[in-house]
Amino acid sequence: MKYLNEYRNLEATNRWLNLIHKTITRNWNIMEVCGGQTHSLVRNGILELLPEKVRMIHGPGCPVCVTPLNLIDKAVELLENNVIVCSFGDMVRVPGSKKSLMQAKANGGDLRILYSPLEAVDVARENPQKQVVFFAVGFETTAPANALSVLQAKEKGLKNYSLLVSHVLVPPAMEAILKDELCKVNAFLGAGHVCTIMGLGEYYPLSAKYKIPIIITGFEPVDLVQGIYMAVNQLEKGIFEVENQYARVVKKEGNLAAKNLINIVFRVGSRQWRGIGEIPDSGYVLQDEFNEFDAELKFGIRHIQVPENKTCIAGEILKGIKKPYECNQFGKNCSPVNPLGAPMVSSEGACAAYYHFTNTV
């Protein structure tokens, strides 16, 4: 299979691993931003094959994991008040302050698990007597489709469709991590799929300001070990640049059509991150002209705010300050069957990766 099997090739993987071993002379901490990269590193046993001098730190790049409790509570509130709530499957088992969406569904709520927000527009069209809300969770990657759903609903004249927006942006989160006094990150592996949409432009000033290498990387074993080599090579030479390992997919300018859709429907605003708190200008909110599609305004639920669960150290996990197995709840009171926080239940969560693919439990 073109562009897949060759990036899972053992010989190519070993070639890049050997280069890392030959190049490295000092200890370096490298953060992979995306949860998909974390799962690939853990599932393929790459962490055990790296030199001890390379320490991989798992980043905040799982949109489900960073969705704050209060937004899940708002979705549950809607579900319990006769609104059809539509969501991607990853979101439904993540615990809110009292219950998850799946638990609210078990009590009679009309929860639809979909693959696309455009399906939610169809649900609204087929159920004109009901209000339909799509739980719009995600990084820059899912924003174009969510924007398109709003434009389609507007074109069809649908008055019963809206978004519960929980879009977050990667570069502001990376900067927040770099500003943390406990930060030990020396280089980043940037999330390739985010850059497929947004391109590389936002990363040049970040790399220059903090003098840190940023390697845009894919998700297969060869992608990751090549990206780690490129990071180590820069660090050993004392240079800091943005490099694109994922050039077969990522263009420097990104996807212009997708970015245009985003800019029509959304604007940048501050967002709460689960376990981290508010990061200025770190998310998307609807443009004022699309306020009729804002579920928080339509249903008056903006006031719902709840404190984070102090038992769960998701924030420290997402900022790379602690590894999942360093949590005293890991594998004990927190498991995929009974998760305390999103990193244990999400398919991209770091805690879930260590629970399923390592012997750390």
- Closest residue by Cα to residue 172 from 203, 135, 211: 203
What pLDDT is attached to residue 359? 79
- Residue 308 clears pLDDT 80, i.e. is over it: no
CA dihedral 316, 318, 319, 320 (to 10 degrees): 80
What pLDDT is attached to residue 143? 96
State how beta strands 161-168 and 187-191 pair.
unpaired
- Residue 282 clears pLDDT 70, i.e. is over it: yes
What pLDDT is attached to residue 142? 93
Taking the C-alpha atoms of residue 87 and residue 71, their distance in angstroms, rounded to an integer, is: 13
Q: What is the mean pLDDT of residues 103-110?
A: 95
Percent of the chain with pLDDT over 70: 99
What pLDDT is attached to residue 285? 96
Nearby residues of 2 by Cβ (< 8 Å), 6 or more positions away = none
From first CA to last CA, the distance across the chain in angstroms is 35
Taking the C-alpha atoms of residue 140 and residue 164, their distance in angstroms, rounded to an integer, is: 16
CA dihedral 61, 65, 66, 67 (to 10 degrees): 140
What pLDDT is attached to residue 62? 79
pLDDT tens digits along 69-92: 899 999 999 999 999 999 998 889
Percent of the chain with pLDDT over 90: 69
| Residue 58 and residue 188 in contact, taking contact as beta carbons nearer than 8 Å | no
Taking the C-alpha atoms of residue 147 and residue 260, their distance in angstroms, rounded to an integer, is: 10
Q: Residue 107's CB: how many other CB atoms inside 10 A?
A: 10
Tell me the two tokens of residue 141: 């990657």
- Residue 318 clears pLDDT 90, i.e. is over it: no
Q: What is the mean pLDDT of residues 103-127?
A: 96
DSSP assignments along 282-326, one per residue: EEEEE-GGGGGGBHHHHTT-TT------TT--HHHHHTTSS-GGG
| Percent of the chain as helix, strand, coil, to the nearest 5 | 45, 20, 35
| Residue 99 and residue 169 in contact, taking contact as beta carbons nearer than 8 Å | no
- One-letter amino acid at 196 equals T
What is the three-class DSSP state of 104?
helix
Taking the C-alpha atoms of residue 351 and residue 324, their distance in angstroms, rounded to an integer, is: 5
Tell me the two tokens of residue 320: 């790379």
Taking the C-alpha atoms of residue 138 and residue 36, their distance in angstroms, rounded to an integer, is: 13
What pLDDT is attached to residue 356? 87
- Residue 340 clears pLDDT 70, i.e. is over it: yes
pLDDT tens digits along 39-75: 999 999 999 999 999 999 988 877 788 888 899 999 9
Is residue 228 exposed (0-12), middle (13-18) or buried (19+ Cβ within 10 Å)?
buried
Tell me the sheet residues that pair with 330.
334
Rg (CA), the chain: 21
| Residue 326 and residue 334 in contact, taking contact as beta carbons nearer than 8 Å | no
What pLDDT is attached to residue 1? 53
What pLDDT is attached to residue 277? 83
